[in-house]
Amino acid sequence: MRTTAARYVDGDRGRDREALSATDQIPERVSLRDAYRFFGPLLLMAELMMISHAIIAGSLARMPDPVSAIAAYSVAFFFHTTFGSPLWACQMVSISFIPTRASVRRMLKFSFVIMCAIGWAWVALGITPLGDWLFGSVFGLGPEIVPAAKDSILVMTLMLPTVLLRSVMYALMMRARKTLLITYGTILRLGSLVLAIWAVSQFIEGAVVGAWALILCIACETTYAVVAGWPLYRRLPEDDGKLAPYREIWSFSWPIMLMHATEHGVNFVMSLFLARLPRPEVAVAVFSVIDSVAKVLLSPLRNLTVTVQSLLNHKRDIQVLTVFCVQVTAVFGVLMSLFFFPSLNDFTLVEVMGLSRELTNYAGVALGICVGLALSMGAAASARGLLIACRATKVLAISSAARLAAVVAVGAIAVQLGFNNGAVVGITALIAAFATESAVLIIRIGQLRTRGTLSPER
């Protein structure tokens, strides 16, 4: 009679064979069709994410004191996204390090350590005078708004564990090329956000409504991610004998974390220079509107990074994915070039975004020159994905520093020469930032190609 242990071992081997069979179904060579099928759901996800942030802003705008609520939430959320970048980066890291169930558990442990290493800052800002200093002295919030910002950031602490789990589960879906599951999760997040805002606003008001609603909807999304991703986890082999050490994971991940952090910090640095231009309040306000439109339209381009990273399995895939990235970037470039037509530019800024005719004239061609932003963003995102897939991440730290340096250079020149159009200056700085990053990354890709070491590692 077979023992229970023997049956267990055989069952585990059966799951491993099933996992290998599922892996074998992935085409040896990626095609353009594969790339578009992978990227399409992520495009929709990116747009839905932007809509969710707009819903929160719209709900806060209906509060009894909308200015204070929006200001407190916006500052708290800026800190949350910028300083939480190491945790958000764990999704990209996981894509490269979870071929087995053992490696998934290792990534969860690694992400937990990262969460603990940064999570203390949320608590400190929420309950100590450090929050008064940061939100009051650094960000310039009034004394009546600072407590709301502190409460919001303290509430957002609860989001970190859910983001940790969601990131690893979504990475599983990307490795399995099941990106449509991620879009379903985002749709669930959007629906639950509306319900959460309504429910929370029955008991409290102000900026913390946005914070609590965001936590609740992400908790729903994470629950879905675990349920939908669990079968994918079970189909992985238990172990392949090649479990990456934590030192290797950290060496790979810290440049990606820095990349995320500096990308969120670019707009903050730019706003410091815009505040020193003539009519600073107009410069900052109009740039914020133009930047919001650009983010809504161009946010899908950021997903070129995970698309290339996830699909690049063989050296011969590089050419196909390069063609794909060029095509997608060109489409978004053409889309943004349409704003050179005055009728579309005016309709977007006046009718949709609500700018006055005076501010629309001030913005000028700022929205039109976002064609350069589309091209530079697409190039940077594609190059990032290629280098991450090839485990050549150290250069991302250099390119991130170069990106910030480009913003500082453009801002300093604008202030020195006294440029009047803050919107054009801001968009030009963003173009310079991504173009500089692209140049650094492309040079590195050329070096690896010359050495014959430009090849993905799995």
Report CA dihedral (393, 173, 91, 332) to the nearest 10 degrees. 70
Q: How far apart, in whole angstroms, are the C-alpha atoms of residue 283 and residue 287?
A: 6
Task: Give yes or no: residues 215 and 263 share one domain.
Answer: no
SS3 state of residue 391? coil
Considering its fold, how many domains does the chain have in total? 2
Predicted pLDDT at 397: 95
The pLDDT profile of the chain, 458 residues, written as one tens digit per residue, is: 344 444 433 444 444 444 443 343 455 688 999 999 999 999 988 888 888 887 887 788 788 888 788 888 888 888 888 888 899 899 999 999 999 999 999 999 999 999 999 999 899 999 999 988 988 887 777 888 889 989 999 999 999 999 999 999 999 999 999 999 999 999 999 999 999 999 999 898 888 999 999 999 999 999 999 999 999 999 999 887 778 999 999 999 999 999 988 887 887 788 788 878 887 777 877 887 888 888 888 989 999 999 999 999 888 899 999 999 999 999 999 999 998 888 888 888 888 777 778 777 877 788 889 999 999 999 999 999 999 999 999 999 999 999 999 999 999 999 898 888 888 999 999 999 999 999 999 999 999 999 988 888 65
Q: Are residues 295 and 437 in the same domain?
A: yes
Can you tell me the distance from the alpha carbon of 325 to that of 435, in angstroms, rounded to the nearest whole number? Answer: 16
Are 235 and 333 members of one domain? Answer: no
Domain end marker among 194, 226, 244 = 244
Residues 238 and 264 in one domain: no
The reported pLDDT for the residue numbered 5 is 42
Domain presence at residue 30: no
Query: Given this model, what pLDDT does residue 458 score?
Result: 55
Statement to judge: residues 155 and 167 lie in one domain = yes
Residue 19 domain flag: no
**Which SS3 state, helix, strand or coil, does residue 48 take?**
helix
**Shared-domain flag, residues 332 and 454:** yes
Last residue of a domain, one of 219, 244, 269: 244
pLDDT at residue 66 in the model: 81
Asked if 148 and 60 sit in the same domain, the reply is yes
Q: Same domain for 249 and 237?
A: no
Angle (CA) 429-422-348 rounded to 5° is 95
Burial class (CB in 10 A: 0-12, 13-18, 19+), 242: exposed
pLDDT at 28: 65
CA distance 276 to 415: 6
Per the CB < 8 A criterion, the answer to whether 297 and 46 are in contact is: no
Asked if residue 202 belongs to a domain, the reply is: yes
Q: With respect to residue 144, please indicate whether it lies within any of the assigned structural domains.
A: yes
On whether both 278 and 355 belong to a single domain, the answer is yes
The answer to whether residue 234 is domain-embedded is yes
Residue 24 lies in a domain: no
Q: Is 2 within a domain? A: no
State the residue range of the domain holding 262.
245-458
> What single-letter amino acid sits at 251?
S
- Supply the pLDDT for residue 8: 37
DSSP state of 26: S
Half-sphere exposure of 90 (CA within 13 A, CB side): 25
Instruction: Clarify whether residues 223 and 371 are in a common domain.
Output: no
- Say yes or no: 93 and 53 in one domain: yes
**268 plus 175 within the same structural domain:** no
| Residue 421 domain-assigned (yes or no) | yes
Among 210, 244, 278, the domain-final residue is 244
User: Is residue 278 classed as helix, strand or coil in its secondary structure?
Assistant: coil
